[in-house]
């Protein structure tokens, strides 16, 4: 403890860092029709300098927080007013491939992309960011990112702080490198400037009660080892994709790029005190970017690595001034939160193996990359994996490189089975979409690839260190429905699926969002409308065709929604 306090004091005095800027809290957009406009701008992070940035709506850097309710059907218009192409990906959210915003869904300059999807995710914090092929680091560095907070009834029933901006605080933690002209340098390893919600040298006033901090590591490369300068115990209540079963107490929390965590911090009785959110880089084990040595034991370090003042050192990130409590403060830490039901290993019907390696051996064991997955660099034209629709899969990730990589997959939330043979710690036992695979270790997770299939549009998996991703440490997979005869997403991402198909008696139809359905029509193989069936929209979100005595043969079901149509080929035995 003495050592830590000493270090913190040292850095405070050596750099005489003062936290003079009030933390920005991104404004909130709610509802089911959301407009996002991406634009370039400038921000004066340093007096007298204008840094070129990218922001959404009123912001020149980052964007508003989308606050969505689970179960809602949302229409989002994403307008690109920049001179460059971009994409916007909903990181962590379970949406169909064409709504996912990966590198294939480009938004050319002057155009608008309009994804429409139902929010199926559990209450947690997700985020949106550029995913443009080879330019993700560049665009995200400039600010093309924002938060998504999903609410659901389970979370709403708990006694938790949820006054956004008062006792429920989003913290987008980033490090940035600036060049001499105070422009962002996305490729520099000297990312020693800390931005929180885009605020440099930030302070925040928090009430003397239990507060909820929603942390996201939105840095491009660096891992953080969070703690508080008073060594306070805090409680992690949520992971990337949902609440934990119960709060997990801790004094340090490691987050890799892309990862999120919700924590409760009890400031009761501390009015008038000042503490700091601190990054304990000296305590990050070697082998992680941000540790004293980014390379695991036995490997040389990255040249110039130690000239970044953040690497391997402890540094305060943000000042917290404890203020008076609010009118009805939360003062307790709940004892339990939700029921977490990991998918049992016995449910898996396939194991997929991914091995990370330097692209070329030699030259310092390729510490700087590029890195490959199963020997391949990302290629827009190559589908690396085809996952059968509804498969439950174990992914076996082995890291044969000298440094740890945070692996992220789209479409699913997964459960970690083990990290080098050891079950995950309690704070990682919930729903996750990023997992760190340490050097020379193997991580296994299990996930179900349900609800969405598309024979044409892939999802991505990749390292979330954005330079690694842009350098090709990424692959793409189709979720393929081998039982569907025709392409299902016939227009603008209207997803529909019939089962069983062929059918003996009747079909059930799953539609992306049954609430958006306008008409459903059944016709026979020669296009004549079939009047004899009863088409019923069910409360569970499905459509059923009660077809009684329909003759054997081929039929087409045309589903029209507010956003387009889907045509399903149905076969009656």
The residues binding ligand C2O (CB under 6 A) are: 89, 91, 129, 131, 258, 408, 410, 460, 462, 464
Interface pick for Cu ion out of 373, 446, 463, 520 (rule CB under 5 A):
463
Among 119-127, 275-283, 421-429, 465-473, which window interacts with Cu ion (CB under 5 A)?
Answer: 465-473
89 or 222, CB closer to ligand C2O?
A: 89
Query: Taking CA 535 as the corner, what is the angle to CA 533 and CA 538, rounded to the nearest 5 degrees?
Result: 150
* Contact residues for 535 (Cβ-Cβ < 8 A; gap 6+): 520, 522, 543, 544, 545, 546
> Nearer to ligand C2O by C-beta: 118 or 410?
410
| Identity of the residue, 147 or 460, whose beta carbon is nearer to ligand C2O in the bound complex | 460
Is 222 a residue that touches Cu ion (CB under 5 A)? Answer: no
* 36, β-bridge pairs: 78
**For residue 460, what are its two tokens?**
């991505």
What is the phi/psi pair of residue 91, to 5°? -65, 125
Stretch that binds Cu ion, among 280-288, 463-471, 514-522, 561-569 (CB under 5 A): 463-471
Question: What's the closest the beta carbon of residue 140 comes to ligand C2O, in angstroms?
Answer: 9
Asked if 154 and 71 count as a contact pair (C-beta separation under 8 A), the reply is no
Q: How far is the CB of 165 from ligand C2O (least distance, A)?
A: 24
Quick check: 260 binds Cu ion (CB under 5 A)? no
Residue 214 binds which one of ligand C2O, Cu ion, none, with CB within 5 to 8 A depending on kind? Answer: none
Q: Residue from 63, 79, 91, 98 that binds Cu ion (CB under 5 A)?
A: 91
Question: DSSP characters for 37-86?
Answer: EEEEEEE-SSTT--EEEEEETT-SSB-PEEEEETT-EEEEEEEE-SSS-B
User: What is the smallest separation between the CB atom of 155 and ligand C2O, expressed in angstroms?
Assistant: 22
| Residue 222 interaction partner, one of Cu ion, ligand C2O, none, beta carbon < 5-8 Å per kind | none
Residue 238's binding partner among Cu ion, ligand C2O, none (Cβ under 5 to 8 angstroms by kind) is none
Tokens standing for residue 115: 């994804």
Q: Which region holds residue 375: left if phi is over 0, alpha if psi is between -120 and 50, else beta?
A: left
Residue 520 and residue 559 in contact, taking contact as beta carbons nearer than 8 Å: yes
Give the nearest distance from C-beta 543 to Cu ion in angstroms: 30
Spatial neighbors of 306 by CB under 8 A, at least 6 apart, are 312
465 binds Cu ion (CB under 5 A): yes
User: Is 443 an interacting residue with respect to Cu ion (CB under 5 A)?
Assistant: no
Residue 145 or 322 having the CB closest to Cu ion: 145
Q: Is 468 in the site for Cu ion (CB under 5 A)?
A: yes
- Select from Cu ion, ligand C2O, none the partner in contact with residue 465, using the beta carbon and a kind-dependent cut-off of 5 to 8 Å: Cu ion
CA distance 420 to 423: 8
Q: Is 354 in the site for Cu ion (CB under 5 A)?
A: no
User: Min. distance of Cβ 534 from ligand C2O in angstroms?
Assistant: 43
Residue 361 and residue 402 in contact, taking contact as beta carbons nearer than 8 Å? no
By a kind-dependent CB cut-off of 5 to 8 A, residue 258 interacts, out of ligand C2O, Cu ion, none, with ligand C2O
Nearer to ligand C2O, 262 or 411 (CB): 411
Euclidean distance between CA atoms 110 and 84, whole angstroms: 9
Report d(CA 294, CA 351) in Å as an integer. 30
Q: Which is nearer to ligand C2O, 91 or 214 (CB)?
A: 91
Nearer CB in complex with ligand C2O: 131/214: 131
E strand segments, 157-257: 168-176, 193-196, 199-200, 202-207, 210-217, 224-228, 234-239, 242-250, 253-255
Min CB(205)–Cu ion separation in Å: 33
- Least distance to ligand C2O from the beta carbon of 408, Å? 5
Nearest distance in Å: CB 460, Cu ion: 7
- Of positions 104, 151, 254, 405, contacts Cu ion by CB under 5 A: 405
Name the burial class of residue 271, with classes exposed (0-12), middle (13-18) and buried (19+) by CB atoms within 10 angstroms of its CB.
middle
Beta bridge partners of 352: 395
* Helix residue ranges, H only, 76-183: 136-142, 153-156
Q: How far is the CB of 91 from ligand C2O (least distance, A)?
A: 4
446, 345 Cβ separation under 8 angstroms: yes
**Which residue from 63, 56, 124, 127 is spatially nearest to 90, judged by alpha carbons?**
127
405 touches, from ligand C2O, Cu ion, none (C-beta below 5 to 8 Å by class):
Cu ion
Q: Which of 244, 284, 280 is nearest to 264 (CA)?
A: 244
| Shortest Cβ 104–ligand C2O spacing (Å) | 12
User: What is the closest distance, in whole angstroms, from the C-beta atom of residue 389 to ligand C2O in the complex?
Assistant: 21
Tell me the residue number closest to ligand C2O, measured at CB.
91
The encoded tokens of residue 105 equal 């869904």
For binding to Cu ion (CB under 5 A), which residues are involved? 91, 405, 410, 463, 465, 468
């Amino acid at each position: 403890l003495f050592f830590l306090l000493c270090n913190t004091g040292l850095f405070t005095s050596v750099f005489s860092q003062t936290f003079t800027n009030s933390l920005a809290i991104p404004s909130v957009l709610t509802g089911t029709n959301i407009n996002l406009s991406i634009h370039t701008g400038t921000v004066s992070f340093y007096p007298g300098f204008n840094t070129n940035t990218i922001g959404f709506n009123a912001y020149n850097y980052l964007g508003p927080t989308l606050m969505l309710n689970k179960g809602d059907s949302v229409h989002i218009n994403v307008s690109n007013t920049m001179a460059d192409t971009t994409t916007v990906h909903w990181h962590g959210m379970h949406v169909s491939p064409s709504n996912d915003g990966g590198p294939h869904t480009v938004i050319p300059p002057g155009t608008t992309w309009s994804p429409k999807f139902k929010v199926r995710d559990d209450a947690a914090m997700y985020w949106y960011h550029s995913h443009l092929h080879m330019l993700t680091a560049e665009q995200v560095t400039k600010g093309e990112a924002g938060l998504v907070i999903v609410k659901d009834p389970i979370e709403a029933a708990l006694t938790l702080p949820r006054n956004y901006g008062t006792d429920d605080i989003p913290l987008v933690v980033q490090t940035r490198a600036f060049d001499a002209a105070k422009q962002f340098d996305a490729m520099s390893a000297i990312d020693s400037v800390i931005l929180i919600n885009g605020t440099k040298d930030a302070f925040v006033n928090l009430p003397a009660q239990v507060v909820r901090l929603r942390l996201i590591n939105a840095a491009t490369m660096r891992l953080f080892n969070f703690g508080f300068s008073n060594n306070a115990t805090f409680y992690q209540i949520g992971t990337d994709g949902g609440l934990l079963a119960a709060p997990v107490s801790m004094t340090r929390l490691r987050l890799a790029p892309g990862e999120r965590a919700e924590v409760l911090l009890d400031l009761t009785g501390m009015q008038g005190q000042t503490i700091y959110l601190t990054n304990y880089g000296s305590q990050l084990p070697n082998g992680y970017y941000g540790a004293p040595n980014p390379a695991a034991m036995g490997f040389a370090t990255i040249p110039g690595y130690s000239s970044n003042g953040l690497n391997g050192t402890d540094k305060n990130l943000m000042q917290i001034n404890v203020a008076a409590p609010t009118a009805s403060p939360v003062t307790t830490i709940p004892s339990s939160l939700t029921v977490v039901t990991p998918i049992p290993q016995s449910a898996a019907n396939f194991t997929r193996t991914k091995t990370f390696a330097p692209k070329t051996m030699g030259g310092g064991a390729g510490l700087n990359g590029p890195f490959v997955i199963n020997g391949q660099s990302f290629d827009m034209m190559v589908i690396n994996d085809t996952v059968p629709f509804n498969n439950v899969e174990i992914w076996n990730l082995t890291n044969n490189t000298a440094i740890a990589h945070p692996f992220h997959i789209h479409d699913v939330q997964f459960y970690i089975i083990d990290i080098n043979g050891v079950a995950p710690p309690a704070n990682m036992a919930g729903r996750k979409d990023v997992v760190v695979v340490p050097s020379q270790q193997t991580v296994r997770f299990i996930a179900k690839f349900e609800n969405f299939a598309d024979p044409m549009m892939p999802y991505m998996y990749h390292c979330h260190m954005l330079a690694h991703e842009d350098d090709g440490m990424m692959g793409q997979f189709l979720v393929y429905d081998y039982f569907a005869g025709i392409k299902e997403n016939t227009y603008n991402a209207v997803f529909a699926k019939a089962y069983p198909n062929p059918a003996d008696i009747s079909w059930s139809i799953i539609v992306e969002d049954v609430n958006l359905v306008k008409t459903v029509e059944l016709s026979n193989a020669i296009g004549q409308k079939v009047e004899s069936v009863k088409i019923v929209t069910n409360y569970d979100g499905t459509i059923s065709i009660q077809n009684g005595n329909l003759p054997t043969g081929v039929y087409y079901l045309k589903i029209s929604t507010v956003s387009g149509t889907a045509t399903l080929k149905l076969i009656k035995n």
